[in-house]
Chains A and B, each alone.
Chain A
Amino acid sequence: MMILSGDRPRNAVLSVILAAILLALAFAPFLFPGSKPLNVAAKICIFALLVASYDLLLGYTGIVSFAHTMFFGIGAYGVALALFNYGPSWSMIALGIIVALPLAALLALAIGLFSLRVQAIFFSMVTLAVASAFAVLASQLSWLTGGEDGRSFQVPPVLRPGNRLFDGEIFGVAFNGRVVSYYLVFIACAALFLLLLRIVNSPFGRVLQAIRESPFRAEALGYRIVVHRTLANVTAALIAAAAGALNAIWLHYTGPETSLSFSIMLDILVMVVIGGMGTMYGAVIGATLYILAQNYLQALMGSASSMAASAGVPLEPGLFHPDRWLLWLGILFILSVRFFPTGIVGRLRQGATKA
C-alpha cells in the first residue's frame, strides 16, 4: 500500500472498467499487435497522464488554465531539441528533461505568482496569453525549433524499431525497440499517475479541494490560497512537461501539431469533462474513450456510410462521411455533458451511493 493512496474507484463497474483499461494497456503489445494499435495505446497512456495533471487544476483546485499544452510542449521540445542537436543518447534525453522541467516549473511559478492573487478569471486570461505567445515564439524561432515542420530526431538505439532486445518472440511478438519504448512510456505514465493520485489524497490535496469549494472559507481557516494554487499549478506543469517528454520519445518527433496546438488544449478539456472532473480516474477513462474515438470512430463511420449506401438506406450521404467525425464527437460531447454533468466517473459513483 506504499504507493497507493487509499483512494479506491468506489464503484464496482468503475473498478472493472479501470482494471480492463489497465490490463489492456499493460499487455497492449501482445494483445493488439501492429504499429497503429500500439500508437493508440501509447497515446492513451500519455494523455491519461496529461489529462490527470490538468484535473489537478480544473477538477481539484477549481482553476481554469489554457497553458497546459504549453507545458506539454516545453517537455516535448526539451527532449526533441537535445536529441536533435546533440545526438541520440540517454544523457541527451536526461539533458532535455533537466532543462525542460525547471523551465516549466519556473514559468508556472511566474504565471501563478503574477496572476493567482487576483481573480481566478485573470489567471485564465494570462495563461491564454502566455500560451499563445509561446506557440508563436516556437514557430518563429525556426532555426531552433524547426518552425511549423518541427523536429524529427533519432532516439537511443535501444528504443529504435530495428533493435531486438533478445532473439525470439514472446507470445508471437518480437520484443523490439518499439515495445521497449512502449513500456518506458507505460511505466512512466503509470508511476506519475500514482504520484498524482497520492498528491490529491494528501493533506495538501485536500486543501486544494477546499479552495475549489470556497476560497473565501479556506482563507478564513488560515490557508494561503495563492500559495496552494501556485503549487498546484507548478505540479501540474511539471507532470505535463514530463508527459510531453514521453510524447517526444515515443513519436521521435516534436512539432506544433503534436505538442503545442490549441486543439490539444481542447482535447484535454473534452477528456477531463467526459471522464469526470476532480476524480483522477476520470482522466484515464476520458482519455481512453476520446482517443479510441479519434482513431476508430472515423473508420467506423466510413464503413457505416458505405454499408448504408450499399444497402440502399436513404441516408444523407454526407452525414456519416468520415470527415464529419468531429461533428459526431461534438454531439457525443454535448450529450455526455447534458446527461453526465459529473462525467462518467461521477455518474457511476452517484449510482453507487444511491443504491
Chain B
Amino acid sequence: MSTHLETRDLTIRFGGHVAVDSVTCAFRPGELTAIVGPNGAGKTTYFNLISGQLRASAGQVLFAGEDLTRLSAPLRARRGLGRAFQLTNLFPNLTVAENIRLSVQATRGVHYEMLRVWSKRRDLIARADEVLEQVALSARRNVAAAALSHGDQRKLEVGMMLALEPAVFMFDEPTAGMSVDEVPVVLDLIAKLKRDASKIVLLVEHKMDVVRSLADRIIVLHNGRLVADGVPAEVIASAIVQEAYLGTAPTQASAA
C-alpha cells in the first residue's frame, strides 16, 4: 500500500451530538487539502480523531496501509502524524528553544536516555536551532513560551510540528489572531511543505484567499458531515459552500 491517509466512516458522538459523522476521505502525498466549514462544523474534532486525541465512536483511521484507529496519540505521532493545535498548546514554563528541542528529541527517538546530560546532545540542539530559524523565533529562544506574544506562540506551535518532521502535517487555523506582518512567515512555510511531494498537508483555514492560493483541494465539513470535495474553484463556487459556509459565517469569510 502507499502512504495515503484515509478515514472510513469516521464518527464521534458526544452524548447525543454527532460532531463528526461518517466522514470517508483519502489524502494523498504531495497534496495540500484545505478543510473548511463554519464554526462548530467538526474540523478540529476531525483532526483530533485522526491524530488520536479523541477515540472514534465508529469508523477507522488508516495511514500507509496500517489501521491506526486503536493506537494512542503518541504512537500515531511516531507513525508520522503531526499536529499544530488551534488552541495553542505549549510547554509554558520552558523556553522557546526547549519547546522545539523536546519536539526534535521525540522524533529522534531519544525517549528514555537517563544518564547523559541533555546539553551534550548537540545534534538535537542544532536541529532545534534550524527550526527556530525557520519560524523566525531565534531571537526569542531563551524566553519562556508563556511570555511570548500571541503571534509568536502561534509560530512556536507550528515550529513544534515542523521539528517533528512528520509525514502528515495538520494545521488548525495556524494564522488565527496573528498580526498581518507575521502571517507570511507561516504561509511561506506551508507553501514550502507543499512542494515536497512526499508530504500530506491538511489545513483548516477560514480565510478564503489563503485557501484559494495554497490548496490543491478543498473539503467542506458541515454539522460533522463531509458535504463537498473538489478543486478550489469549483468547491468555492458551489451552492453548498455558498450556503453552508459563507452563509453561516459571512464575517469571517469576507474579512479574509
Contacts and interface: CB of A to CB of B under 8 A. Distances in A.
A213 B93 contact: yes
A205 B114 CA distance: 7
A107 interface: no
Nearest to B107: A222
Contacts of A235: 114
Interface in A172-228: 198-199, 201-207, 209-210, 213-214, 216-225, 227-228
A348 to B, nearest CB: 17
A5 interface: yes
A199 B116 CA distance: 8
Interface stretch (B25-33, B117-125, B228-236): B117-125
B25 to A, nearest CB: 22
B186 to A, nearest CB: 19
Q: Report the contact-size class of chain B (Cβ under 8 Å from the partner).
A: 35 or more
Contact of A207 (B77, B83, B105, B117): B105
Contacts of A264: none
Interface in B82-130: 83, 85, 89-94, 98, 101-103, 105-107, 110-119, 121, 124
B102 A206 contact: yes
A221 B93 CA distance: 17
A217 B90 contact: yes
Given A203-B118, A219-B72, A222-B164, A214 B91 contact: yes
Interface string A217-260: 11111111101100100010000000000000000000000000
Given A210-B94, A221-B160, A223-B106, A202 B114 contact: yes
A211 B51 CA distance: 18
Contacts of A203: 105, 110-111, 113, 116, 118, 121, 124
Chain A binding site: helix, strand, loop or mixed by DSSP?
Answer: helix
A195 to B, nearest CB: 8
- In the complex, which of the residues A205, A220, A225, A235 has the most CB atoms of chain B within 10 Å of its own CB atom? A220
B151 to A, nearest CB: 19
Contact of A220 (B51, B107, B111, B124): B51
A318 interface: no
B117 to A, nearest CB: 5
Nearest to A1: B117
Contact of B72 (A198, A201, A216, A224): A224
Interface string B143-176: 0000000000000000010001000000000000
B238 interface: no
A312 interface: no
A222 B102 contact: no
A138 B100 CA distance: 48
A210 B114 CA distance: 15
28 contacts: A5-B117, A199-B114, A201-B119, A202-B115, A202-B117, A203-B105, A203-B110, A203-B113, A204-B111, A204-B114, A206-B102, A206-B118, A213-B91, A214-B89, A214-B91, A216-B89, A217-B89, A218-B102, A220-B83, A220-B85, A221-B74, A221-B106, A223-B74, A224-B74, A224-B75, A228-B112, A231-B112, A235-B114
Interface of A: 5-6, 198-199, 201-207, 209-210, 213-214, 216-225, 227-228, 231, 235
The 7 closest A-B pairs by CB, nearest first: A222-B77, A213-B91, A221-B106, A203-B113, A222-B106, A204-B114, A222-B78
